[in-house]
């Protein structure tokens, strides 16, 4: 029968050293897993949109509630004018709010852009605007000579159903008019008339319906920026 011997002091020290090394390696591995995402990680900072000086006007419109109507066609603009009127009227009648308690922006881009201009522009360039808007006078079936979505009463029904752009502007609505689409209209007019596109662009901008109209770099960008500034989006 063999005799059992006790481990020497050096053996005990070697064992303890290996144990300590293993514990340290395990702790390091766990720490590494936390860094690489396998363990619990610190929450990321919340996202905040960047602000730009070109968009500062969005904050200057007074109002406790904010609404954005995005329009791209004559029919869509007509619906948006009716919806915006309902929105303002209901807030007045049911909530006791005033027009300056409500911030409303109407984006006019793509085929609805031309309806941001006054009758003088339509009388001069109505053929080109009508073609780009894919819109004709429903009575004459020809290019309008006036801004028909700014007409309250007409012999035939129009997309705005009596809700004019001017009527909404008088209630404090602001327009965001697409510069890209306006440049497109100016170019089309210049090609048709032999004029200068830059000069026609300046003429269009100077004949917007109201001082509440803002030329924006692009209507689609205005849609994005307005939502980042807290405006509720309605597509039309």
Task: Identify which of 70, 218, 213 has the alpha carbon closest to the alpha carbon of residue 150.
Answer: 213
Name the percent of the chain lying above pLDDT 90. 79
Phi/psi of residue 233, nearest 5 degrees: -90, 135
Please report the pLDDT score of residue 211 as a whole number: 84
Domain boundaries, the chain: 63-235
Nearest CA-CA partner of 113 in 159, 164, 181: 181
Stronger pLDDT, 19 or 161, i.e. the higher one:
161
In the predicted structure, residue 26 carries a pLDDT above the cut 50: no
Question: Cα(45)–Cα(22) distance, rounded to whole angstroms?
Answer: 36
Architecture of domain 63-235: 3-Layer(aba) Sandwich (3.40)
Quick: pLDDT tens for 124-136. Answer: 999 999 999 999 9
Q: What average pLDDT does this structure show over 88-113? A: 98
Q: Does residue 2 carry a pLDDT above 90?
A: no
| Contact present, 231 and 103 (Cβ < 8 Å) | yes
Sheet holding 174-178, edge to edge: 213-216, 174-178, 102-108, 65-71, 232-235
Per-residue pLDDT tens digits for 145-176: 999 999 999 989 999 999 999 999 999 999 99
Is 85 a residue whose pLDDT tops 70?
yes
Is the pLDDT at 206 greater than 90? The verdict is yes
> Model confidence at 225, in pLDDT bands (50, 70, 90)?
very high
Q: What's the pTM?
A: 0.81
Q: Which range in 17-31, 132-146, 149-163 is most confidently predicted, on average pLDDT?
A: 132-146
User: Mean of the per-residue pLDDT values for the chain?
Assistant: 88
pLDDT band, residue 23 (cuts 50/70/90): very low
- Give dist(CA 85, CA 236) in Å, integer: 14
The CA distance from 112 to 135, in Å, is: 10
């Amino acid at each position: 029968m063999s005799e059992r011997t006790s481990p020497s002091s050096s053996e005990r020290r070697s064992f303890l050293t290996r144990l300590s090394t293993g514990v340290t390696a395990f702790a390091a591995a766990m720490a590494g897993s936390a860094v690489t995402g396998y363990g619990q990680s610190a929450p990321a900072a919340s996202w905040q949109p960047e602000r730009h000086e070109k968009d500062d006007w969005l904050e200057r419109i007074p109002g406790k509630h904010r609404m954005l109507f995005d329009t791209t066609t004559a029919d869509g603009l007509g619906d948006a004018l009716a919806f915006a009127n309902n929105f303002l009227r209901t807030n007045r009648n049911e909530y006791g709010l005033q027009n300056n308690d409500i911030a409303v922006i109407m984006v006019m881009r793509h085929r609805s852009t031309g309806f941001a201009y006054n009758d003088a522009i339509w009388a001069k360039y109505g053929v080109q605007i009508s073609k780009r808007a894919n819109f004709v006078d429903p009575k004459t079936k020809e290019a309008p000579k006036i801004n028909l979505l700014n007409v309250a009463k007409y012999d035939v029904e129009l997309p705005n159903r009596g809700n004019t752009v001017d009527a909404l502007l008088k209630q404090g609505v602001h327009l965001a008019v697409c510069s890209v689409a306006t440049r497109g209209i100016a170019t089309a007019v210049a090609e048709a008339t032999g004029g200068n596109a830059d000069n026609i662009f300046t003429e269009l901008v100077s004949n917007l319906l109201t001082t509440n109209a803002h030329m924006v770099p692009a209507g689609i960008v205005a849609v994005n920026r307005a939502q980042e500034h807290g405006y509720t989006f309605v597509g039309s």
